[in-house]
Amino acid sequence: MVEPGTVVNVIKQARDRRTAPLILELDLTEGIVETAPADPISAIMSMRRTNLRDVLDGLRRARSDSRVRALVVKVTGGIGLALAQELREAVQALREAGKLTVAWAETFGEGGRGTVPFYLATGFDKVYLQPTGEVGLTGVALEEPFFAGALEKAGVRPLFAKRHEYKTMANTFMERTYTPEHEESSRRLVTSLGAQITAGIAASRGLPEERVRELTDRGPLLAGEALEAGLVDRLGYRDEVYADLRAEYGAQAQLRYVARYNRTGGLTRRLPQPGRQDVVALINGHGPIRLGRSGRGGPLPNSGPAMGSDTVGAALRAATRDERVKAIVFRVNSPGGSAVASDAIWREVVLARRAGKPVIVSMGDVAASGGYYVAMAADAIVAQPGTITGSIGVVVGKAVVTGLLDRVGVGLGTVADGDHARMFSATKEFSDSEWERINASLDRIYDDFTAKVAQGRELTRERVHELARGRVWTGADAREHGLVDELGGLDLALDLARKRAGLPADAPVRGYPHTSPLERLRPPDSSEDRTAASARFDGWGSLGGLAARLGLPAAGPLTLPGSWEIR
């Protein structure tokens, strides 16, 4: 027989759980994923990782939830600058709603990069640091390797052509150091990014920008030095951070991860609603752009996602055909890739707009070269100040390895039928007629690219050429030059989409195409089935395998060189 007192206690505990103050948590140790990977194995493995939409939606909901009293975030170095700016905006909105926000870290860069994590942390009301940690506020730098000397010693001769002087991927393989244009572009990037970080830290910590620059030039700072300088509020371990929060809101306060809070509290919003409900479609395009289906971006297990023109095109068509979809937000986080695949996606954006569906692009950490190509036809482009974008240009070439083969004693016999049959072979140089074909292709791609930028951005061809020529811009500079419209994140893009479509501010968002990991495992019914996915590595066509071995950007000719995630 159950004791009456036991029943009362159970009921009381249940009631307390429903009414107790909430302290939301976010752990950035493993970073944040923007969308589920396209291939089924990676999708299953990432199911437990924190999703950006869950975080943004959860923090937005928390603003008006009286139970939510505070947010505590463990800050690490796992995210890029533009994403850090996106989280800072969400945290600032939560602070303005009267919620306490606390950032803590064991260290901001232990012998590594700590500038971006610390910049993120300064967006909170309070910053805690473990007593043995450091503030690795050291500034922004780009290190770009040049392989011409090494390739010469190895007997490899790189042959590239580009449009134009700021398209720097070819420089990586053909130069021994910066060209004047390459150095100019890179220097402007770090200057713009450094200014953004300095201004953000200064405003948040109540310090003059000159003082922040002085501290940056002294960094990394020991925990005690950071406390004395006013960069952090308290030195303490994790248990002390949480003890302070419980002392503020009571021992009965409950902890809950932001993503869990959003999914639990938002369940009713995701259940089918009676009648017809208008929505905003969210389509994600991440990784190098290639023909075919989305999937992994390379031959290695951890090479990241790739944006396939078939997959993204099908998603845009599905959203366009769906009468419930009144606007589309296209989230782009890509260094570019195949020119043909980029053009195929661009076309679907154009068709969606012709069908009366406003398209808003939200740029992530990087949306450059082909990543800008797929965005330029949108009604509006939203980027963070720290987004890497632009790179409107093209490069094509190959690496000739005959010298290397000679050195290692490899002979090669060839037969061919056709003057250009071996045009893309890595064992011969381009002939004059082959160079003519390459230059014709470069001119066509560049002219087409810049013409579409001029049309989409309502600029003259002459002005576009001044801004293009392969040059990379930060989001802040791109907005000044008219290449993007607004500075902000995904939330702003969704708000703009709702306004363009005449939808209420709380109109729901639906991902397109939506497939579960189990659905991705089943064989596709046809080539248009949304579950059809392959992870091919073919951005350079017949040179794909060679490009991978030589470290070339295998995604294709509209590719931003190197790694551009600023952390």
| CA 279 to centroid of chain Cα atoms | 24
Q: Are residues 104 and 247 in the same domain?
A: yes
**Of the residues 240, 265, 290, which one is the last residue of a structural domain?**
265
Q: In angstroms, rounded to a whole number, what is the distance separating the alpha carbons of residues 288 and 296?
A: 9
Determine if the peptide bond prior to 523 is cis (ω within 30°).
no
State both tokens at 566. Answer: 């600023």
CB atoms within 10 A of CB 185: 23
- What does 93-140 look like in DSSP terms, one character per residue? HHHHTT-EEEEEES-B-SSS--HHHHHHHTTSSEEEE-TT-EE-----
Q: In angstroms, rounded to a whole number, what is the distance separating the alpha carbons of residues 284 and 336?
A: 14
Helix (H, G, I), strand (E, B) or coil at 358: coil
Q: Are residues 449 and 470 in the same domain?
A: yes
Does 434 map to a domain? yes
Does 105 map to a domain? yes
Helix (H, G, I), strand (E, B) or coil at 554: coil
Residue whose C-alpha is closest to residue 189's, from 446, 390, 469? 390
Give the count of domains, the chain: 2
Q: In angstroms, rounded to a whole number, what is the distance separating the alpha carbons of residues 264 and 337?
A: 39
Q: In angstroms, rounded to a whole number, what is the distance separating the alpha carbons of residues 127 and 489?
A: 23
* Parent domain of 428: 276-559
Q: Are residues 234 and 302 in the same domain?
A: no
Q: Are residues 300 and 428 in the same domain?
A: yes
**47-62 residue pLDDT tens:** 667 889 999 999 999 9
Q: Are residues 413 and 546 in the same domain?
A: yes
Assess contact for 206 and 229: CB atoms under 8 A. no
Does 207 map to a domain? no
Does 185 map to a domain? no
| CA 290 to centroid of chain Cα atoms | 17
Per-residue confidence (pLDDT) for residue 555, from 0 to 100: 52
**338-397 residue pLDDT tens:** 999 999 999 999 999 999 999 999 999 999 999 999 999 999 999 999 999 999 999 888
Does 205 map to a domain? no
- The sign one gets for the Cα dihedral 523, 525, 531, 537 is positive
Q: Are residues 371 and 441 in the same domain?
A: yes
Per-residue confidence (pLDDT) for residue 219, from 0 to 100: 85
Per-residue confidence (pLDDT) for residue 515, from 0 to 100: 62
Q: In angstroms, rounded to a whole number, what is the distance separating the alpha carbons of residues 191 and 142?
A: 11
Per-residue confidence (pLDDT) for residue 51, from 0 to 100: 86
Residues of the chain where predicted confidence (pLDDT) is lower than 70: 1-18, 36-48, 265-276, 296-304, 513-567
Q: In angstroms, rounded to a whole number, what is the distance separating the alpha carbons of residues 176 and 341?
A: 32
Q: Are residues 248 and 290 in the same domain?
A: no
Per-residue confidence (pLDDT) for residue 222, from 0 to 100: 95
Does 148 map to a domain? no
Q: Are residues 251 and 344 in the same domain?
A: no
- 308: enclosing H helix or E strand: strand 305-308
Residue whose C-alpha is closest to residue 565's, from 304, 285, 295? 304
Does 270 map to a domain? no
Assess contact for 129 and 221: CB atoms under 8 A. no
Q: Are residues 312 and 388 in the same domain?
A: yes
Alpha helices in 20-51 (DSSP H): 40-45
Q: Which residues of 335-346 are buried (b: 16+ CB within 10 A; e: fewer)?
A: bbbbbbbbbbbb
- Return the CATH number at 481: 3.90.226.10
The per-type count for the chain, helices as H runs and strands as E runs, is 23, 23
Q: In angstroms, rounded to a whole number, what is the distance separating the alpha carbons of residues 381 and 375?
A: 7
Q: Are residues 261 and 303 in the same domain?
A: no
Angle at 459 between CA 440 and CA 378, to 5 degrees: 90
Q: Are residues 412 and 440 in the same domain?
A: yes
Per-residue confidence (pLDDT) for residue 467, from 0 to 100: 96
Q: Are residues 474 and 548 in the same domain?
A: yes
Does the pTM surpass 0.85? The reply is yes
Place of tokens 């290190």: 143
Place of tokens 């029943």: 7
Per-residue confidence (pLDDT) for residue 463, from 0 to 100: 96
Alpha helices in 236-391 (DSSP H): 238-249, 258-265, 267-270, 309-321, 339-354, 370-373
Does 526 map to a domain? yes
Helix (H, G, I), strand (E, B) or coil at 28: coil
